[in-house]
Structure 1
């Protein structure tokens, strides 16, 4: 394996890790107003405690490390991709960052509010802070799969016509609903109260089904020539089939009450689109509708710089993985009204 391919794999690993870990954060944020309802839940809410949000609390800010790592790898190893991607997708990326800041602040400040009215405002901001990054990442994935226009000078530009092409909003809806279902599966794994687990399981099953329908619309648009533009057709078909298989496994597992298997399935469903982007369009990192674009050799830094980065990567990447494994082990206990509240 060449250094170029290895670093492309590291870039994909960072983004897939962020989708899996940040995805359930956004999902729980979007769903937390719908996961209460019992008298005990209402009593807990009056004290500021929310069992659904407590499920993500130990990992909340730590999951954003994967986004920082993704940006670091892109800046260091793929500087030409970074220049094209950030300039072309600037409005969506700004919206993602704004949603992250808003959601992080709202989650941590809601318990400090006085009165039910103020808490409802913070709750609404928590939902917005989860929904905005989720749908914007879906739009980004849709744009990259569909292909972005390339100017005469070689730069890429995304306009309103590309964002509102039917395929791109279909991808946005798919990811939004998938992240919500992913969050529901996570709550079902982490929570202790039977009522909360049952609500999360029911919501997750419905959301994964609707997300699959939105994904099917995107697939049909692709089959009729108005969807994704891939260079490796066979690989893309296999990976698309794997995504829908993960959907099916998640729905079946939620229906039968196997929460761990459901969460593993939603993890796969959130990670596989990143692999579809990388492997389905290889050797291009940004593709146009005509089937060509920014080649990996034009996007990556020089070989000597990659060698220097590899020395650091040998230590940094395992450290990130070890940190994530340790945090999951340290906070492996379930959460709920009878357990410690982190927020």
Structure 2
């Protein structure tokens, strides 16, 4: 296997892991102001993701670092063209992290309400903008012959990208609601189940609309060589099954299905790109690919050795942390936030 292909696969895995893991804590943050008006329940909701949210964000940092090292031209074009969107996303995520730490520093209800809504905004904005970004990856953006982005911020906010953004927002919200059914007890768990059932409807409808829209706006399905696309169909099947699993009180399986839907959707997008990494809407000859955007073979070889040594250690450590904090969180337990 070519080293460029190996690193493209690794970056796909990193983004898939990020969306799967960060997806549920984005969803929990989005639901926080709506699940309850009682502070003890809101603190319980935050505690379900308290041990995980910062570790989940490491996947994004690692994906960005891998992109910078393996495909510097991809990184440069992406971060220049998507600068304002990525800056907004970064500020939202920083503010969200601050909110987790600051809301418990004062007991004033207005203080806590402000930080609760900050957590909501810091979760909803990235959940929306990541969908916008991925849609533009496959639809195409104005890239010139010098690999420079030749458009503006509002080129990114086209109807197709916004449809994808709303889809990712709805799926992450559902993912978070199902996660809460696994991590809470008693009345809060009942609220989580009801919320998950409500969130399922827009998630499925928007996913279907986005799949149809993709057929007309991109070459994703034809580029895959699969029509209409087996993997995205499996993603929708997994998403549809969630409501039936919730009816059977099989929350663990429901969470697995929302995770599969997110993972398969991400994999579909990257498969549809390969060997491209960014599509030029100006001229297909100006597409960025794993070949014209990559580092040297020597650099990729060194990086492969480092990744082989350290990636398994990171996976083991994060798996261990989830195992340690696997218990449900109740309103009667110790609350940190």
Flag whether TM exceeds 0.5 (same fold). Answer: yes
C-alpha offsets along residues 238-286 of structure 1, whole Å, 9 cap, x if unaligned? 1221221121122222233211011111111222222112211211111
1:187 maps to 2:165: no
Cα contact 1:236–1:280 (8 A) shared by 2: no
Aligned to 2:11: 11
Using the alignment, how far apart are the partners of 1:43 and 1:14 within structure 2? Answer: 35
Aligned length: 334
Partner of 2:94: 101
1:215 and 2:207 correspond? yes
| Distance in structure 2 (CA, Å) of the matches to 1:235 and 1:301 | 33
1:275 paired residue among 267, 275, 286: 267
Distance in 1 of aligned mates of 2:314 and 2:284: 35
What is residue 159 of structure 2 aligned with on the other side? 166
Q: CA deviation at 1:132?
A: 0.8
From 318, 327, 337, the counterpart of 2:321: 327
Match for 1:44 among 30, 40, 44?
A: 40
Shift of 1:235: 7.2
Is residue 219–residue 227 contact of structure 1 (8 Å, CA) maintained in 2? no
Give the gaps of 5 or more residues in structure 2: none
8 Å Cα contact 1:99-1:128 kept in structure 2: yes
Please tell me whether residue 57 in structure 1 is matched to residue 34 in structure 2. no
Residue 162 of structure 1: how far off its partner (Å) = 3.1
Task: State the match for 1:301 in structure 2.
Answer: 295
1:204 has 2:200 as partner = no
**Aligned: 1:130 with 2:123:** yes
Partner of 1:22: 22
Distance, in Å, in 1 between the alignment partners of 2:333 and 2:154 is: 50
Equivalent-residue separation in structure 2 for 1:295 and 1:227 (angstroms): 17
Within-5 A mapping of 1:224-239: 225-227=216-218, 229=220, 231-234=223-226, 237-239=229-231
CA RMSD, 1 decimal: 1.9
C-alpha displacement of 1:130: 0.7
Paired residue secondary structure (2:185): coil
Residue 146 of structure 1, aligned match among 139, 154, 176? 139
Mean Cα deviation higher: 331-340 or 65-74: 331-340
Measured in 2, the distance between the counterparts of 1:104 and 1:126 equals 8
Give yes or no for the alignment of 1:285 onto 2:277.
Answer: yes
Distance 1:342 1:9, change over 3 A: farther
Cα distance in structure 1, aligned partners of 2:21 and 2:213 = 29
Please give the TM-score of this superposition, normalised by the length of structure 1. 0.91
Distance in 1 (CA, whole Å) between partners of 2:273 and 2:320 is 34
Partner of 1:70: 63
The 1-side partners of 2:280 and 2:246 are apart by: 38
Greater Cα offset, 248-257 or 287-296: 287-296
Q: Is the 8 A contact 1:147 1:229 kept in 2?
A: no
The match for 1:264 is 256
> 1-side partners of 2:299 and 2:242: how far apart?
42
**Aligned CA distance change for structure 1 residues 171 and 71 (closer, same or farther; 3 Å):** same
**Match of residue 244, structure 1, among 216, 220, 236:** 236
Q: Report which stretch shifted further, 143-152 or 234-243.
A: 234-243
Assess, with a 3 A threshold, how the Cα gap between structure 1 residues 235 and 226 changes in structure 2: closer, same or farther. Answer: closer
- Note if contact 2:18-2:60 (Cα within 8 Å) is conserved in structure 1: yes
SS in structure 2 at match of 1:338: coil
